[in-house]
């Protein structure tokens, strides 16, 4: 299993200069206040909850692929560094994997693909280890299957 510090460092390195395309002018009225709040706080100071919701909404109702890449890299770092939040996360395999496919993940730069694959694998492995004592985790299994298909 990958070391958490290494996976987080790879995410940081691969996506350090990743811009977002989030704009209050490009969202529906019901999302405008939320987007303005994110931008006012500063995109590098988003809470785990903000990142989770941004991953969930990116591409579909706010921002595009750039925002998804920006948010996903930071969200996965949180899932690795603070796994206790994962139990409350809305964004999971059923949200993330289709968006990765929609965002043409296979065409991303090699460093970005590698960092995301390693982070997803580490997060899923940790979840499956925890699930052995608590039950089944089909979302973690789906992540591992998706990663394996892209290695």
Pick the residue with more confidence: 97 or 130?
97
Q: Quote the pLDDT of residue 123.
A: 92
Q: Quote the pLDDT of residue 89.
A: 87
> Would the pLDDT of 120 be above 80?
yes
d(CA 32, CA 118): 34
Segment 32-39 long-range contacts (CB within 8 Å, at least 24 positions apart): 34/62, 35/62
- What is the tens place of the pLDDT at every residue in 28-65? 888 999 999 999 999 989 999 999 999 999 999 999 99
> Would the pLDDT of 119 be above 80?
yes
Q: What's the chain's average pLDDT?
A: 92
d(CA 127, CA 28): 35
- What is the tens place of the pLDDT at every residue in 91-112? 999 999 999 999 999 999 999 9
pTM for the whole structure? 0.92
Q: Quote the pLDDT of residue 70.
A: 97
> Would the pLDDT of 134 be above 70?
no
Tell me the angle at which helices 48-57 and 93-102 cross, rounded to the nearest 10 degrees: 50
- Percentage of the chain with pLDDT > 90? 75
Instruction: Name every residue whose Cβ is closer than 8 Å to that of residue 135 and which is 6 or more positions away in sequence.
Output: none
The total number of structural domains in the chain stands at 1
Buried b (16+ CB within 10 A) or exposed e, 109-121: eeebbebbbbbbb
Provide the domain limits for residue 104: 4-149
> Would the pLDDT of 142 be above 90?
yes
């Amino acid at each position: 299993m990958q070391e958490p510090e290494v996976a987080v460092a790879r995410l940081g390195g691969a996506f350090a200069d990743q811009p977002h395309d989030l704009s209050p002018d490009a969202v529906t009225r019901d999302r405008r206040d939320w987007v303005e709040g994110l931008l006012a706080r500063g995109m590098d100071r988003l809470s785990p909850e903000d990142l989770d919701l941004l991953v969930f909404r990116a591409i579909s109702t706010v921002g595009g692929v750039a925002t998804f890449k920006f948010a996903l890299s930071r969200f996965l770092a949180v899932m690795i560094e603070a796994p206790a939040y994962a139990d409350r996360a809305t964004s999971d395999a059923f949200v993330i994997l289709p968006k990765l496919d929609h965002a043409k993940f296979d065409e991303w730069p090699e460093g970005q693909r590698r960092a995301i694959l390693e982070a997803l694998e580490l997060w899923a492995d940790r979840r499956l280890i925890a699930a052995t004592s608590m039950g089944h985790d089909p979302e973690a299994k789906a992540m591992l299957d998706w990663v394996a298909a892209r290695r």
